[in-house]
Chains A and B, each alone.
Chain A
Amino acid sequence: MDKFANVGWSEMLLMALIGFLLVFTVLVLLIYVMRLMGWFFTRDRKPKTAAVVASEPALDHAISDQELAAAIITALKLYKSALHDQESEMLTINRITRAYSPWNSKIHGLTQVPEKK
């Protein structure tokens, strides 16, 4: 306990402030480390896209991803709507045999007409 004999409000405030700032500093450092890692693992995707765009000089204006997606979807829609339904043309009759029971008997299911005497 003697170790803290000279610790007063000013030291406590400093400790709290420095401690909180240190937590922030360490975690901000980790953000950059993670970003670096993220960049390293996603960099392969970005240059390829850039290269494709660069190798298409015929396109004067840039086509956004949304426009591209809309064009593909419209083309697919038109293609599919032009197709006729094609069925298998195969018909199969499956015979189902059931064991006799008064519950599935047709004669028992009909209304019994009363006999005139």
Chain B
Amino acid sequence: MTALLESGNFILDSLLRFVETSGFGAFFAEGGWKYAVMIALACFLLYLAIKKQFEPLLLLPIAFGMLLTNLPGAEMFHPTLFDEGQIDWYDLYKTGGLLDFLYLGVKLGIYPCLIFVGVGAMTDFGPLIANPKSFLLGAAAQLGIFATFLGAYALGFAPNECGSIGIIGGADGPTSIFITARLAPELLGPIAIAAYSYMALVPVIQPPIMRALTTDKERRIKMSQLRQVSKTEKILFPIIIAVVISLLLPSAAPLVGCLMLGNLMKECGVVDRLSKTVQNELMNIVVIFLGISVGATATAGSFLNFKTLGILVLGILAFSCGTAGGVLLAKLMNLFAKEGKKINPLIGSAGVSAVPMAARVSQTVGQEYDKSNFLLMHAMGPNVAGVVGSAVAAGILLAFLG
């Protein structure tokens, strides 16, 4: 009888130990609720990606990475290996798992650059070459970056964190990740999620600002047709931009250099296989790795705090200021432009990058007022100028704060 009781107790103890060490047990331990919240948040992001199709190509792997890293007990990602901006190589080889090794691509700035090669190969800089003034609109839209930089400081963030948060205004996911991995890696999760979520919300955020800052007459301005751009110009453009920007701002060279390499592959026409690879296979593989590893950094400890809330608020400020900057500069340029050479201010908002979504928004809002007004090609100029502008702004912030 005693032996039976003893074995019963042993089994009960074992079961209790099993329950305590299981993931379910961790939910009831101190601070366990945070895991539940993070899992619920990851599921919400999965819902947004699958059902609402908010940037699904990136949001889905990010949300799943977030889900994996917040499964208590699984310990799939070890943030301690990358503490204080340093990589603990010895422990990484000893204890590192798949997510730790994938995260190296983010930490070392490899994935954003590879994505930029693909983005370059998919971008047509023709409208920008035909109308170089678009560079001004691309520059004005970077107002969002620097206004948010100051806004973040007002909320009590450290200067390096301000730089990372400000770059959300560039509306450029890879650039945000590239900068944050260098300046404030602990904020990578919230910043990447804010950047991609707001990029998906560009059609919601931008139109009210565009309407508020323009008059009915301005929205109906028809722009003259762009000139034809020769193949030689298109080939020379990436080479010239890469050389000029890299010489002026060496810290922007990795991003701009990769963007222009991809574009040269597309335009030269002699490496079609490489061009197709970087546009499809390479891009897709890197997006999967980037998404999962960025999502993995969104651990309960680093995500559930007031900083995240601040980043989400500042992110929307960044997008709004960027949009306003582009539209206002277009209006200012119109004051000095001759009749027939005026710019439709709606294309200014496309300067916030977010290619090609922001350009499509300009086209859609323009057509609401005049069905025969086609702004898409005109908006593509500031749109791709915004990509170059945000990479330049990133280089400047790195030079100041890196």
A27 touching B388, Cβ below 8 Å: yes
For residue A29, CB closer than 8 A to chain B, the reply is yes
- The 27 sampled A-B contact pairs (Cβ below 8 Å) are A12-B159, A16-B147, A16-B150, A19-B145, A20-B142, A20-B146, A22-B396, A23-B139, A23-B142, A23-B392, A23-B396, A24-B136, A24-B140, A26-B245, A26-B249, A27-B136, A27-B138, A27-B139, A27-B385, A30-B241, A30-B245, A34-B135, A34-B237, A37-B129, A38-B129, A38-B227, A41-B233
Closest to A14 in B: B400
Q: How far is the CA of A68 from the CA of B282 in the complex (A)?
A: 53
Query: Size band of the A side of the interface?
Result: 20 to 34
- A: residues with CB less than 8 A from B are 1, 4, 7, 9, 12-13, 15-17, 19-20, 22-24, 26-31, 33-35, 37-38, 41-42
State which of A9, A15, A17, A31 has its C-beta within 8 Å of the C-beta of B135.
Answer: A31
State which of A7, A22, A31 has its C-beta within 8 Å of the C-beta of B133.
Answer: A31
Contacts of B248 in A (CB 8 A): 26, 29
Contacts of A20 in B (CB 8 A): 142-143, 146
Closest to B236 in A: A37
Contacts of B249 in A (CB 8 A): 26
Nearest 7 pairs of A and B residues by beta carbon: A34-B132, A27-B135, A27-B139, A16-B146, A31-B132, A4-B159, A20-B146
B153 touching A30, Cβ below 8 Å: no
Q: How far is the CA of A33 from the CA of B388 in the complex (A)?
A: 15
Q: How far is the CA of A35 from the CA of B159 in the complex (A)?
A: 37
- The total number of A-B Cβ pairs within 8 Å is 91
State which of A12, A24, A26, A35 has its C-beta within 8 Å of the C-beta of B153.
Answer: A12
A30 touching B132, Cβ below 8 Å: yes
Q: How far is the CA of A41 from the CA of B159 in the complex (A)?
A: 45
Q: What distance in Å separates the Cβ of B229 from its nearest Cβ neighbour in chain A? A: 8
For residue B271, CB closer than 8 A to chain A, the reply is no
Contacts of B237 in A (CB 8 A): 34, 37
Contacts of A4 in B (CB 8 A): 158-160, 401
Contacts of A13 in B (CB 8 A): 150
The tally of residues in B whose CB lies under 8 Å from a CB in A reads: 43
Q: How far is the CA of A24 from the CA of B143 in the complex (A)?
A: 10
B159 touching A31, Cβ below 8 Å: no
Contacts of B140 in A (CB 8 A): 24
Contacts of A35 in B (CB 8 A): 132
For residue B397, CB closer than 8 A to chain A, the reply is yes
Q: Could you say which of A17, A26, A42 has the most chain B C-beta atoms within 10 Å of its C-beta?
A: A26
A38 touching B233, Cβ below 8 Å: yes
Q: Could you say which of B135, B162, B233 has the most chain A C-beta atoms within 10 Å of its C-beta?
A: B135
State which of A16, A22, A27, A38 has its C-beta within 8 Å of the C-beta of B149.
Answer: A16
Contacts of B244 in A (CB 8 A): 29-30, 33
State which of A7, A27, A28, A33 has its C-beta within 8 Å of the C-beta of B240.
Answer: A33
Contacts of A37 in B (CB 8 A): 129, 233, 236-237, 240
Contacts of A7 in B (CB 8 A): 159
Q: What distance in Å separates the Cβ of B366 from its nearest Cβ neighbour in chain A? A: 24
For residue B232, CB closer than 8 A to chain A, the reply is yes
In the complex, which residues 386-402 of chain B have their Cβ closer than 8 Å to any Cβ of chain A?
388-389, 392-393, 396-397, 400-401
Q: What distance in Å separates the Cβ of A41 from its nearest Cβ neighbour in chain B? A: 5
For residue B230, CB closer than 8 A to chain A, the reply is yes
Contact with A along B310-345 (1 / 0, CB 8 A): 000000000000000000000000000000000000
Q: How far is the CA of A35 from the CA of B245 in the complex (A)?
A: 16
Q: How far is the CA of A54 from the CA of B30 in the complex (A)?
A: 90
Contacts of A24 in B (CB 8 A): 136, 139-140
Q: How far is the CA of A102 from the CA of B248 in the complex (A)?
A: 85
B227 touching A30, Cβ below 8 Å: no
